[in-house]
Structure 1
């Protein structure tokens, strides 16, 4: 039995498609690639806007957006997505590994040619001989950026497959392949006020967005809330100083905070009033990001999510089972492998 046909317009291009096709499949049939990565409803790289028409969002709708890998056509429709850099694989080598704070590293990779990425996106890094991991490229904490050098903030997990080897088996000169960029939680240069929240190394994409917005849109209202389990996880001292000097308010939180320079509240409890004009970016622990999603969407704000999941191999079978449960409970969260 043949499928009913329909027409989908993607960024102005009309494509013949079949009712029941996912938006990504419809695009591919018309030789138009909608940005995507996991194709399982987790990474949100494929989130697109539905401008009109018949689309079954399959539970992925947020305001006027859906996930292109899951949402299916029910008839003619028009969708659009923001242009992003083309996904490429680029070779490089580890240039430096520096301890920022105990269990937190800054890893710099020099590439054979520049990697083009947008603030807030992520890359898939494969250190030769090790499984791939997803990391968010970021602005150096001291802002000494170099062309052709990618900077990552990486949390070291004891006995992990990759992070615990950094500075040891994986050292300066080690070969690396970077693939990307991926992700939908990147800075859009709109006039609306921005709220940026993070936990742990979720600060990496949040910091890059804050710098890009502050330098590129000096008059835009920006506020940052950065949290960690304990004060030892607040590794961003230089970044805090820079933000304060550039008029960007930043609030730090940790469970052992002094309630003066570091508060004890959870980041999501410090958000305050939001309006439909706000744009919210959240990165880090999945529980934090999901809490922020609920807060943002309930106020009508635009929300971009980048939860960090610890790779299953890093914590053995217990973490593997835990990750499966988390992903089952929140199937449309952004999942990134091995942050």
Structure 2
């Protein structure tokens, strides 16, 4: 058997030029060894073959230190501040005597209690009356319908129910009464947006005290008054409303559920059907029965208006 031997070197032709190559080398190794291809410096320092002798590639400069991203400030919108709760006023105790009882309508009684010492109360504030045989009742002192009241007088508007009973029946003339106040958080607060005052029945007592104070303290503040009753004959506050009109209150609405003997200026239907379109900047005071108060609260909450409710339980 004839043994075949392989030469240690052989010849390779690249681009018409003879290149000597050793057995086992790749053509690329031979071309580099013969100087036909020059190596170039790679970005990270590794040798990379290039075509012909060329200067080493420039080293790419490293990245500079990362700069914190620029934060763009958005345009400031209207600030929304939570309305801070006012400190609760000091509560005082007084004793008083019933000095006046008179009927305003067949279903509304005006009762006046004269206290031994002036009780400091803001407009719309409530007091608690301790009555023998009746218990504790929360009421809102107000003014007479003509706007009069002495500093040591507490005037109340009381309803007579369908059975003919009124809280005034438990308070005959010259009877003594124990009073504590102020209580509640529904008093008049100056400042803010439009003042919307809503009353049903004897809830007008609280609304009347707030409305009259607002006309003296803030005569330029926008004011809207909506007054309702079941029977148009129980709209006892006309003298009060005439005074408000004379001071510049342009929007005053009267309504009654019953159509019997309804004057032309009294609108039919529920009171809530005649409220103005509420706005978020409005300040709403509502006083009356639970259904009216609850409905107004829902309407005020729907637009984000502040609402101060008072349930009339007498």
Do the aligned residues in 1 keep the contact of 2:232 with 2:263 (CA within 8 Å)?
A: no
1:273–1:158: structure 2 CA closer, same or farther, 3 Å change rule?
closer
Which residue is equivalent to 2:258?
256
Q: How does 1:35-74 map to 2 (within 5 A)?
A: 64=82
- Secondary structure at the aligned position of 1:263 is classed as strand
1:186 CA drift (Å): 1.3
The reply to whether residue 105 of structure 1 matches residue 109 of structure 2 is yes
Do the aligned residues in 2 keep the contact of 1:130 with 1:162 (CA within 8 Å)?
A: no
Q: Give me the TM-score of the superposition, normalised by structure 1.
A: 0.64
| Post-superposition CA distance 1:38-82 (Å, at most 9, x none) | xxxxxxxxxxxxxxxxxxxxxxxxx957xxxxxxxxxxxxxx421
Which residue is equivalent to 1:237?
238
Q: How does 1:5-16 map to 2 (within 5 A)?
A: none
Structure 1 unmatched ranges of 5 or more: 1-62, 66-79, 309-337
1:239 CA drift (Å): 0.8
The reply to whether residue 142 of structure 1 matches residue 146 of structure 2 is yes
1:296 corresponds to which of 272, 283, 300:
300
1:269 CA drift (Å): 1.3
Which residue is equivalent to 1:124?
128
| Post-superposition CA distance 1:141-200 (Å, at most 9, x none) | 11122110110000123668862625xxx3221101111111111111114111111101
Do the aligned residues in 2 keep the contact of 1:126 with 1:132 (CA within 8 Å)?
A: yes
Which residue is equivalent to 2:51?
none
The reply to whether residue 211 of structure 1 matches residue 215 of structure 2 is no
Q: Give me the TM-score of the superposition, normalised by structure 2.
A: 0.69
- Secondary structure at the aligned position of 2:266 is classed as coil
- Secondary structure at the aligned position of 1:132 is classed as strand
Q: How does 1:81-96 map to 2 (within 5 A)?
A: 81-96=85-100
CA distance in 2, matches of 1:225, 1:158: 24
1:250 CA drift (Å): 1.4
CA distance in 2, matches of 1:297, 1:156: 31
- Secondary structure at the aligned position of 1:100 is classed as strand
1:119–1:84: structure 2 CA closer, same or farther, 3 Å change rule?
farther
Per chain length, whose mean CA-contact separation is higher, i.e. which structure has more relative contact order (CA < 8 Å, sep 6+)?
1
1:129 CA drift (Å): 5.0
CA distance in 2, matches of 1:240, 1:303: 22
Report the count of equivalent residues. 231
| Post-superposition CA distance 1:246-301 (Å, at most 9, x none) | 12231110023447310003221112322211111111011111111111111121
1:181–1:246: structure 2 CA closer, same or farther, 3 Å change rule?
same
1:233 CA drift (Å): 2.0
Alpha carbon RMSD of aligned pairs, Å? 2.1
| Post-superposition CA distance 1:103-147 (Å, at most 9, x none) | 211111000101111212211112345422211101221112211
